[in-house]
Amino acid sequence: MKNYSDLWLGYKKKTHNRDCKNLNKISFTGVDETDAVAVNASEELKTGLKTMLDIEPEIVFGTPGVTGTVSNGSEILDNEEYRISLSDGEIVVEAKSGTGILYGAFDILRTVAVEKDVIEAYGKGIVVRPSNPLRMLNHWDKMNGDIERGYSGESFFFADNEIVINERTRDYARLIASVGINAVVINNVNVKDAASYMITDRYYDKLAELGEIFAGYGIRLFLSLNYASTIEIGGLDSADPLDEKVIAWWRTKMAEVFDRIPTLGGFLVKADSEGRPGPFTYGRTQADGANMLADIVKEYGGIIVWRCFVYNCKQDWRDEKTDRAKSGYDYFHSLDGKFEENVILQIKNGPMDFQVREPISPLFGGMENTNQMLEVQIAQEYTGQQRHVCFLIPWFKEILAFNTHMKEASVADIVSGRVMGNKNAGMTAVCNTGDDYNWTGHDLAGANLYGFGKLAFDTSLSATDIAANWARLYLSQAIGESSFAKRNGEKIVNTVKEILMKSWPVYEKYNAPLGIGWMVVPGIHYGPDVDGYEYSPWGTYHKADLHAIGRDRTDNGTGYVSQYREENKKMYENVETCPEELLLFFHRLPYNYVLKNGKTVIQHIYDTHFEGAEEAAKLMEEWKSLEGLISKDVYERTLERFTHQAEHSKEWRDVINSYFFRKTGIKDLQGREIY
Ligand code: GCV
């Protein structure tokens, strides 16, 4: 018995009576049996079809390289693309690479798993291509087995400073490949202690083995790198990127690393941030640091993913002018066009840090000649830590759709490489997995893992469809045998979809109001503490007094707003056109400022917090309506989380409302209990 769930790859027996003869023979074109990824695709199909339909398909491999143009001559396939069609009653999967074939295989398995008709699905032929070149996960796993901001157990990559490889490793690769992930960073961006030695003989063999497993599923292994490795493990006294000794050390080191871990895709670097070393120590720019490494790894096909989360975390809270929100842009904008071709700047979605609501980072649209990758967080650090349900895909959809007004491009246009014609671009998520049975602590948090992969692969998918499909795939394994219709499939899927789609707005309601963010217990970032970060060095201030709240980020204030293109600047700086959900991020307003719905800011705070807690309780009731319909384990595990959320949302409600009532003395118009 595995001690972990198969999640959406549950492959339960299907009892519908669809005609499945088309699945008896499946042809792969463009690859032969020497392609490890295609072989894994074939194994996956065999296992899945046997379990679900009791079919043992004949898999016929084609000739490598034959498929550049698909059989109907209409499309040229790129490396990870695939086409599925029906020909003489058999399924043909065409691709240029094993990875394309693998994605095609998972497509077929999903079709069967959700009980869709194969002829309907593939009769006319489909061509599927990923929206983003890189679709990555960042694990913040530490080598001692802890996970920074991990809410679902311990690491399954590391224990006691050793790398762990077991059955779960392969199943993890299968799971994430099935939703189109093609790159994984296994270790925390804060590279310290044993992790600094990842690029030494101590770990090479294991990393090579791990890289090989991943490569078998079209996934490239990446490592987070300690920028000051020359000092920490190299015995030099400097990490100056322009110092010849430093460069020479890296040259030798990288030759060794890529020789010992041949499948390595490259490195992720957090420099000059939150205590991590970087080029600033030597008076150099972020480009100097990134380019030095990129230049060296180029000959091995390596990529340097360089994070833009660079800011001063030792700020004086008394200082009105410094604004943390400005720092990413301040440090990187002027370097546009100065990065090597194999450097990708990894930019968090907002200028602060994964709050429940933030404006989009002005770096998107601020750089026209630099590879960019969007970083989001599915680990719910600030969004309920996988104890509260918070389905983040609707939020990610908004982020991707944001018009940067750089050539009228959306964030999705930029990070897909469509605007600049670059291939080193994409999306990454700070991952939410651990060694818990269900991988993500909260069963419903699995929808964020599944959803991120699906969205990064196809940014045109709707959040609702992603939610529904996840519910359908996951619950079909959670429920067990018998047909979907018989076990109230539609009710289950609709209920879960509704819960998921409501969850982010509900969470936002009882959280910090109107985009101001933070108000969490420092350090752990869980639970309400309105002034927790107010007089701290982290640069995250709401500035509430008895008259007003919010940060003036217009040109009269910190000037952050000027980092946007003119259209967006205008929208944000005008209190009338600033989206209300971000009002306090951009403006300092009196509590009696009247919002578009006629409510004052203070009444809005009271109302949303009462509503949020009520709605959280309703989500639990909706979940309860599934009792007896879904697996008992999933039902009970999740009910426990909902019970906590319902209580904890009241805590949020009461702490926030009481804080503002005490600060302002303004009564709730509805006379509800505030303490
Ligand atoms: C990995 C936030 C988190 C840190 C995290 C950091 C980052 O500050 O609280 O735990 O460090 O972001 O993204 O590097």
- The model's pLDDT over 125-165, given as tens digits with 9 standing for 90+, comes to 999 999 999 999 999 999 999 999 999 999 999 999 999 99
338 pLDDT above the threshold of 70: yes
Q: How many CB atoms lie within 10 A of CB 564?
A: 23
What burial letters (b/e) apply to 462-480, b meaning 16+ CB within 10 Å? ebeebbbbbbbbbbbbbbe
Q: What is the CA(409)–ligand 1 centre distance, in A?
A: 29
145 secondary structure, DSSP code: S
* Nearest residue (CA) to ligand 1, atom 13: 309
3-state secondary structure of 426: strand
**What was the pLDDT predicted at 485?**
63
* Nearest residue (CA) to ligand 1, atom 2: 353
Q: Is 353 a catalytic residue?
A: yes
Kindly give the number of the ligand 1 atom that is closest to the alpha carbon of 140: 1
Kindly give the number of the ligand 1 atom that is closest to the alpha carbon of 190: 1
**What was the pLDDT predicted at 307?**
98
**Contact 6 CB / ligand 1 (< 6 Å):** no
Q: What is the CA(507)–ligand 1 centre distance, in A?
A: 21
Kindly give the number of the ligand 1 atom that is closest to the alpha carbon of 430: 13
pLDDT band at 478 (very low <50, low <70, confident <90, very high): very low
- Asked whether 126 and 83 are in contact (CB, 8 A), the reply is yes
**What was the pLDDT predicted at 15?**
77
Ligand 1 pocket, mutate which of 353, 374, 518 (most atoms under 8 A from CB): 353
* Nearest residue (CA) to ligand 1, atom 12: 353
Query: What pairing do the DSSP bridges indicate for beta strands 162-163 and 158-159?
Result: antiparallel
Give me the DSSP letters along 371-402: -EEEEEE-S-TTTTTTTS----HHHHHHHHH-
**Contact 324 CB / ligand 1 (< 6 Å):** no
Q: What is the CA(617)–ligand 1 centre distance, in A?
A: 31
327 pLDDT above the threshold of 90: yes
Ligand 1 pocket, mutate which of 138, 142, 146, 149 (most atoms under 8 A from CB): 149
Which of 607, 602, 605, 608 is CA-nearest to residue 547? 602
- The model's pLDDT over 591-642, given as tens digits with 9 standing for 90+, comes to 999 999 999 999 999 999 999 999 999 999 999 999 988 889 999 999 999 9
Q: What global pTM score does this model have?
A: 0.97
Measured CA angle at 290 (ends 404, 538), to 5 deg: 65
531 pLDDT above the threshold of 70: yes
Q: What is the CA(186)–ligand 1 centre distance, in A?
A: 15
Ligand 1 pocket, mutate which of 140, 186, 225, 346 (most atoms under 8 A from CB): 140
- The model's pLDDT over 386-403, given as tens digits with 9 standing for 90+, comes to 999 999 999 999 999 999
**Contact 140 CB / ligand 1 (< 6 Å):** yes
**What was the pLDDT predicted at 71?**
59
Cα 316 to the center of its chain, rounded Å: 32
- Asked whether 640 and 506 are in contact (CB, 8 A), the reply is no
Kindly give the number of the ligand 1 atom that is closest to the alpha carbon of 273: 14
36 pLDDT above the threshold of 50: yes
Side-chain half-sphere exposure of 337, counting CA atoms within 13 A: 3
pLDDT band at 341 (very low <50, low <70, confident <90, very high): very high
CA separation, residue 67 to residues 23, 83, 86, 96, 291 (Å): 21, 10, 16, 6, 36
Instruction: Please report how the helices 167-178 and 446-457 are oriented relative to each other, as an axis angle in degrees rounded to 10.
Output: 50
Q: What is the CA(430)–ligand 1 centre distance, in A?
A: 10
481 pLDDT above the threshold of 70: no
Cα 175 to the center of its chain, rounded Å: 15
480 pLDDT above the threshold of 50: no
Which of 451, 450, 433 is CA-nearest to residue 442? 433
State percent of the chain over pLDDT 90: 91
Q: Is 274 a catalytic residue?
A: yes
Q: Is 545 a catalytic residue?
A: no
**What was the pLDDT predicted at 489?**
84
**Contact 269 CB / ligand 1 (< 6 Å):** no
Active-site annotation holder among 94, 381, 573, 668: 381
Which of 384, 410, 369, 426 is CA-nearest to residue 616? 384
Write the CB contacts of 366 (distance below 8 Å, at least 6 apart in sequence).
329, 333, 336, 404, 406, 563, 564, 565
Residue appearing with tokens 């003395």: 665
Q: What is the mean pLDDT of the chain?
A: 95
Instruction: Please report how the helices 167-178 and 201-215 are oriented relative to each other, as an axis angle in degrees rounded to 10.
Output: 50
**What was the pLDDT predicted at 484?**
65
- The model's pLDDT over 558-602, given as tens digits with 9 standing for 90+, comes to 999 999 999 999 999 999 999 999 999 999 999 999 999 999 999
Q: How many CB atoms lie within 10 A of CB 213?
A: 19
**Contact 214 CB / ligand 1 (< 6 Å):** no
- The model's pLDDT over 243-274, given as tens digits with 9 standing for 90+, comes to 999 999 999 999 999 999 999 999 999 999 99
Kindly give the number of the ligand 1 atom that is closest to the alpha carbon of 525: 9
Active-site annotation holder among 81, 240, 288, 353: 353
State percent of the chain over pLDDT 70: 96
**Contact 146 CB / ligand 1 (< 6 Å):** no
Q: What is the CA(379)–ligand 1 centre distance, in A?
A: 11
**Contact 348 CB / ligand 1 (< 6 Å):** no
Q: What is the CA(43)–ligand 1 centre distance, in A?
A: 39
**Contact 309 CB / ligand 1 (< 6 Å):** yes
